[in-house]
Structure 1
Amino acid sequence: MKTSVVVVAALAAVLFLAQSYASLAGASGPRVIIVGAGMSGISAGKTLWEAGVRDLLILEATGRVGGRMHKHNFGGINVEIGANWVEGLGGDQLNPIWPLVNSTLKLRNFYSDFDSVVGNVYKENGGGLYDEEYVQKRMDRAYEVEELGANLTKKMHPSGRDDISVLAMQRLFNHQPNGPTTPVDMALDYFIYDYEFAEPPRVTSLQNTQPTPTNADFGEDNYFVADQRGYESIIHSIGSSYLSTDGNGKLKDRRILLNKVVRQIAYNKQGVVVKTEDGSSYRADYVVVSTSLGVLQTDLIQFKPQLPFWKIAAIYSFDMGVYTKIFLKFPERFWPVGEGKQFFMYASSRRGYYALWQSFEREYPGANVLLATVTDDESRRIERQSDDQTKAEVAEVLRDMFPGADVPGPDQIDIYVPRWWSDRFFKGSYSNWPVGVSRYEYDQLRAPVGRVYFTGEHTSERYNGYVHGAYLAGIDSANILINYIFKNEEYKVRGKYDVEDDLIAQAR
């Protein structure tokens, strides 16, 4: 009798496991859970769907689709608190995001005249504008050194073993050997590097940012998206090919579950079990994790068993930058506007202290809104302090720049400060490629672990940190899974100094 009970129990357990992972043999193909409904997650889902993988479930931690593409109503207008530009236009290749923005959805967008910033560099302590000719000479020298750095990378081993930091390159060419020290040089250096990569030259890889692959492939023009539908509309448009939408074209599908905070991913050779903070469990054959690099570097999601050391080491080898857009609304406009006045800088003796400013007069006429951008340590500092303190600092800086203007007091300023670094669902703005890591670590970063697959802008070797990088990463990661499902092809990490692979890369 005891033996019969044991046999029945064993059969029941086998039946339970078979039912749990029955989708492998189901007519609809394997079941895939996608963690995150941002650009990469939605892009990966579309690629899987088009390949015939139709049993999809998307678990999103927040209450919205879009991830780090997020519009926010501020002062009666929708502004982009995350991604804002289509970066990389005017080159031989077409940025894949541009047709969606400019043709499919026809989102309002504006050319960003960054070159004009040299005529709008303000001294601290109420000294007015720096002489434009002087600033231009300093900028020309900075760009000359940047070009020397780009040429240097062509001589480096493709594996990245010879890589140095951008600051080391500047020292090599005797350009500010101890780093930029004058307010103007610090401001221009910040504009060229920190404003782009969200981290300073001392930590940023030379070989993998000079030239920036986005500019090399797609061109150097940038267009600022300022549409009340939001830049995130392109994610809804991409997803609409396989997911249902509401009357406004926004994704609203039973296969997208919002406010589902994934806390654990258990995996073995048979499949995966994803557990959420509300106590729910979801079983599937595979899972695609599209959370940010910042989230992967925290303990928000526990993997059972723990990810192997090589994977953890790759995750922690990369940086999650913090790029903060501070939105400020005033009762009246007191700053100059017009041709060549879109961007201006504050050359503080404290690097990165409210350095970059943008007027919204062209994009949102009459809104009286300014955008101040800070990054890295300044971002973290400002996230930790109160908005009242930030308004007081902003008012003081603006009085420095415009001493003769009627700059309102902090109590008359409306402010919105996104806090990407403090948000446990993001923990930063976008990834940066630091010195010391190479395409080998990138291979490891996007490599699957068993039935757990990874995607996100941080897994895009050429375009990390960009919207098009997130979009293409979703496609690439989905194809890695598709090749395994239909061709039984396992993803292989190239050798760190694989000469054959490197010669092929050089030939391309």
Structure 2
Amino acid sequence: MFLLRVTVILFGLLLVRSENDAKVIIIGAGASGLRAAEIFHEKGMDDFIIIEGADQIGGRVTDVPFAGTNVDIGASWAQPGNTSIVKVVKDLGIEHHVSNFDSLLVYNQTGTDVTDSTDPIWERFEAAIEYMKEKAQELIDEKKPDISQRASLRLGGWLPKTPVEKAIEWFDFDFEWADIPAVTSTKSTALLPADESVLFVKDPRGFKFIFNASSEFLFNDPAFEGRLHLNKRVTTINYSGDRVVVTTSDGSTFTGDQVLLTVSLGVLQNSAIEFQPDLPDWKIEELFKFIMGDFTKIFMRFDTQFWPTDEWFIYAHERRGYFPIFYNLQAQGLFPNGTNMLLAFVTGNEARRIEHQPLSETSAEITAILQILFGNAATAPAEIIHSGWSNNPLTYGAYSNWPVEVSEECFKKMQSRVGQVFFGGEHTDVIYNGYIIGGQRSGEREALKILDCMNNKDECPIWTEKPKSDCDCTSGVDSLTISILATVLSMLLARMF
């Protein structure tokens, strides 16, 4: 009897999972990972661990201290409509401001205010955008191959030649997609509505406060103590055995039946995580087809305000994308008087250049521009920071961009598991890639998939090779994507940045 009791106790101890062992390991505590955890919790599956490389949750929805307040170096804007993000912003009482795009000045390269002369340019540009929408619908309806935004705009009569025309184009395209029109898909972007009524989050608690209510159980429920591991950067995922082994840079190991990987596309493209065995070619090829956009926000505080009270300033330099936009955080409805802050934006190659040079050089470049625009009263920033996403080993970029010639079949491969490793993240969402809601949707999608696989292991879906005619990723958007994009026409989005 004694031996039997000892045997039972020892067997019971073997069944108890350690704090580094769970049914599911969620890698990444951003929009995707947090939503997955929420779904698991709602469905009564609480045997999971979250591993996050940063020292806080939120991922690329994050803020830092600057000039006596907090500023969001990641997501800043929420766009009204049928998205959960806007509802959460309003329900939680997060302070925000409706950006005023009518409060805008345009300057040429010599600093002359040319705003009044730009009306015909805006009209021609808007006509080309309308044509691009019609072209996108035609390409989808007739199942024709995709073309770039640049090609669509040219067909619509938009052929920007002057610095002012190029700066205006940048404001509407690069500013949204984090890359040039020549590489961005017409089909996947032209039908996404661009509403001018967008909410800029100015709350000192940061935009990441949107996760406060949904993730509360992780911090306030004693049952989840020790489930969230911060400052743990994943370096290796070994899925060769019955269980997955995850190793972090500090040598910690975690084991799970399944892993949900929600890291950014940039991390995967830069091979920051070693997979054992290597990911299959069909997965790697898909990851490298997509674009990880670079989008840099540069916050500056000055001793005094020497610029006008308007909200937006467009600077038309002959070098396209050279500090083209300044956002006046001192404008009416934004930060308190005396904040004296400007926010500059750069994308693509300029973003990578800025993030790889000393801040002192960036400050000098911007100071020279501000003196051209606002005269000798303009001074160098007293404080300056930038978002630095392209250099961040946890992101290697800002958010994903859907390039030309990528169909929904490509997203099937992006979304497919490999063995016991499942893939989430905003870059895997077929509609909202690049948006916070895309990350959330992917987390929910994969959490439900994992739960289904737990209940029916014999029918756990995985992408398999098909005849090229059925899975050619250069074939354009298929019928399912057509129906999905049709629903987008009535919806407004919450972009990652």
Q: Bin the TM-score by the shorter chain.
A: 0.7 to 0.9
Residue 35 of structure 1 aligns with an amino acid whose one-letter code is I
TM-score (norm 1): 0.85
Instruction: Say whether residues 1:204 and 2:174 are aligned partners.
Output: no
Q: How far apart in 2 are the matches of 1:415 and 1:401? A: 19
**Structure-to-structure mapping, 1:175-254, within 5 angstroms:** 175-176=158-159, 180-212=160-192, 215=193, 221-240=197-216, 242-245=217-220, 253-254=225-226
Mapped partners of 2:350, 2:13: distance in 1: 52
CA contact (8 A) 1:324 1:379 kept: yes
SS at match of 2:454: helix
Match for 1:129 among 87, 102, 113? 113
CA shift for structure 1 position 52: 2.5
Corresponding residue of 2:44: 52
Per-residue CA deviations over 1:194-252 (Å, capped at 9, x if unaligned) read 0000000011111101022xx37xx5531000101111111232211x31249xxxx99
| 3-state SS of paired residue (1:479) | helix
CA offset digits 1:329-382 (Å, max 9, x no partner)? 100001111xxx211110111111110111111321220000011111111111
Q: Secondary structure at the match of 2:38?
A: helix
1:443 matches 2:435: no
Show the 5 A alignment for 1:322-401: 322-337=294-309, 341-361=310-330, 362-365=333-336, 366-401=338-373
CA, structure 1 residues 253+232, in 2 after alignment: closer, same or farther (shift >3 Å)? farther
Letter of the 1:259 partner, please give it. N
* Cα distance in structure 2, aligned partners of 1:131 and 1:196: 22
Q: Is the 8 A contact 2:429 2:439 kept in 1?
A: yes
Per-residue Cα deviation, 1:20-76 (whole angstroms, up to 9, x for no partner)? 9997xx9xx971000111111111111122222211101111222111111111110
Give the structure 1 partner of residue 73 of structure 2: 81
State the superposition RMSD in angstroms.
2.7
Q: C-alpha displacement at 1:116, in angstroms?
A: 3.7
- For 2:107, what is the secondary structure of its paired residue? strand
Q: CA deviation at 1:283?
A: 1.0
Distance in 2 between the 1:131 and 1:402 partners? 15
- Quote the residue 2:391 is aligned against: 422
Letter in 2 for 1:367: T
Question: Does the CA contact (< 8 Å) of 1:322 and 1:428 recur in 2?
Answer: yes
Q: TM-score, normalised by structure 2?
A: 0.87
AA matched with 1:490: C
Structure 2 counterpart SS, 1:63:
coil
Q: Which secondary structure does the structure 1 equivalent of 2:259 belong to?
A: strand
* CA displacement at 1:471 relative to structure 2: 1.6
Which residue of the other structure, out of 128, 141, 144, is the alignment partner of 2:127? 144
Which of 75, 82, 88 aligns to 1:100? It is 88
Residues 373-407 of structure 1: per-residue CA shift (max 9 Å, x gap): 1111111111111111111111110111112x511
Given that 1:68 and 1:429 are in contact with CA atoms closer than 8 Å, whether structure 2 keeps it comes out as yes
In the TM superposition, residue 490 of structure 1 has moved relative to its aligned partner by 2.8
Asked if the contact 1:158–1:502 (Cα under 8 Å) also holds between the matched residues in 2, the reply is no
The aligned amino acid for 1:50 is E
2:489 alignment partner in structure 1: none
CA–CA separation in structure 2 for the residues paired with 1:197 and 1:131: 24
Q: Does 1:165 align with 2:165?
A: no
Shift of 1:456: 0.7
The 3 A distance-change label for structure 1 pair 220 and 129 is closer
Structure 1 Cα separation of the partners of residues 447 and 183 of structure 2: 31
Q: Matched residue of 2:389: which SS? A: coil
Cα distance change, pair 505–280 in 1 and its aligned pair in 2 (3 A):
closer
Q: Is the 8 A contact 2:408 2:478 kept in 1?
A: no
Go from structure 1 to structure 2 and tell me whether the alpha carbon gap of 1:483 and 1:367 turns closer, same or farther (over 3 Å shift): same
